[in-house]
Amino acid sequence: MEFLAAFNEKVLNQSEQEYSFVHQLHCYASKTGFHLRRTVKLDPVAELFIYNLIYRNRKTFRSDFRKTINLLHKFIKIK
């Protein structure tokens, strides 16, 4: 974790351009029914930064409640 903290400091430092984010590439993700979703591909530095940011703040995001909803639907259908 010390490595990531030092790396984040370098990413946010304006004077160290080699660690900064670069322009993202536009790409397309396929969906069902042959639909395409336009998205961007982040550079490795940006991906590491985002994943680390999410991991450090994971308790602030809500938990996935789809399992609870699925159980509720099964319960309602049984009755």
Give pLDDT tens digits along the chain (79 positions).
677 778 777 777 777 777 666 667 788 888 888 888 888 888 887 888 888 888 888 888 777 666 666 666 666 655 4
pLDDT value at position 40? Answer: 82
Could you count the other beta carbons within 10 Å of the beta carbon of residue 46?
A: 16
Provide the pLDDT for residue 79.
46
CA distance 50 to 12: 13
Q: How far apart are CA 8 and CA 19, in angstroms?
A: 9
For 36, phi then psi, to 5°, come to -115, 135
Distance CA 64, CA 10 (A): 33
| pLDDT of amino acid 30 | 86
